[in-house]
Structure 1
Amino acid sequence: MNNTALEQDSVVQKSCINCNEIIAVESRFCKHCGSSQTTTDENTATGGWTNIKHAALLFGVDVVICCVASFIDVFKTLLWSVVFDVLLAVVALAFFCDNWKKNMVILRWPQFSVLKLLGYGGAAVLASLAVSFCVHWLNQALFSKEFYYYGFYAHQKYAAALMIFFVAVMPALFEELAYRGYLLQNLLGVADKNQAIFITSFLFAILHLSLLSLFWLIPFALLLGYVRVKEKTLWYGVFMHFCFNLTVCIVELWRYS
């Protein structure tokens, strides 16, 4: 191995402070012994424990709201659905803006690319079509019935517009602000990149309170988390999330209206 290769390896790798095994330089925990790679002073300076508590609080508030909306019959109306959607949006904004200086960086869009945007959007559309087909088949095979969003709005004026706004627009913006924005940004301060993405994705999937949907929610959330970290911006993920949910809406409008 030449000197250049050795210098490159020294840049991307380091020794664990506990067991001296070689690990990636950005690792916060050793993959061999599991020990933290930051000192007590560093953890205090970055507010690691505070980050965890705030992330848990966001998730806890969201879970309570979603459980009330899903499991208490009196709240299963369009009016209450709108109220809960707005409440979730307010919670997402409040947490995101609570540490604005830290979070504002991911609202920038460095090296914007139309081709990249179209590529991510196209991948989301194809994934949505595949998921829609699978979910439709599973509902018929397992439950002999089907759930669809349009039925919730069908008797309202401007039903299609309402469905698109509350199913595609609001989740794409505010779920990304909350989970790939605030929550992932917090966890990146106390965990490795891959760990933070996985934890965020798992919590996002659980929040939807649907065991059947976990098979696609977790992979989709992992993809959104990966894109958010790779591109260093929230907006590609917002566009992907919007395209995914909009495709679901269009498929339902074509199938049921």
Structure 2
Amino acid sequence: MTAKPRFNRVLLKLSGEALMGRQSYGIDQDVVNRIADEVKAVREDGIEVCLVVGGGNIFRGVSGVASGIDRSSADHMGMLATVMNAIAIQAALEKIDVDTRVLSAIPMTSVCEPYIRRRAIRHMEKGRVVLFAAGTGNPFFTTDTAAALRAAEMNCDALLKGTQVDGVYSEDPKKNPNAIRYDKLKFIDVLSRDLKVMDASAISLCRENNIPIVVFSLQEQGELARVLHGEGKFTIIGDTV
């Protein structure tokens, strides 16, 4: 890769399911280690990186509600799951000598730092990878919305969403092989066509703060670095891209 990186500071959003690998539950350490390697590679390229990870591999608030748990309690349980995932990624990153901090929106100072915006920015300025855990700290908000919020607060140049497919499609390509794949979209297109990329709150936050969203596949080794250099396959969402 010879092209200059397109962005200087990015937020990478990972779903909890991405950490499962081929398992039906929990954390696949091989997958976590591969993600850590990819983050290290882009960090060594001079790109400042922060992450938000979901908790669906351990507990999903929606599933909890379906089983009879009230929404607030279920969402808080999901937030705690994201802390477990963040600590797992931190351990993998520090094992390969990447200085990392976990900041939680729900204070739990025995295991990680509380989220303080200025502290998080200072960590990034010092070259550390910052993991934002516990979503926004509030029920009724998804980790997608948390990712958009933190991307805005950290003055990120882009929000990258790592998924199991190589971009945004008109329909689920696993269910409909004839689904149309998009290279570029405007925020309003995503909202008006009800494309299932991120929830509407997250899309709106990125739109208001002019933060492009880049959707790509995390299944391909080295794809994160390629996407940040404008290579590889991805869909970019934004009004000025």
Q: Which TM-score applies when normalising by structure 2?
A: 0.26
Larger strand share, 1 or 2: 2
When Rg is computed on C-alpha atoms for both structures, the one with the higher figure is 1
For normalisation by structure 1, the TM-score amounts to 0.25
More helix by share: 1
Greater relative contact order: 1 or 2 (C-alpha under 8 angstroms, separation 6 or more)?
1
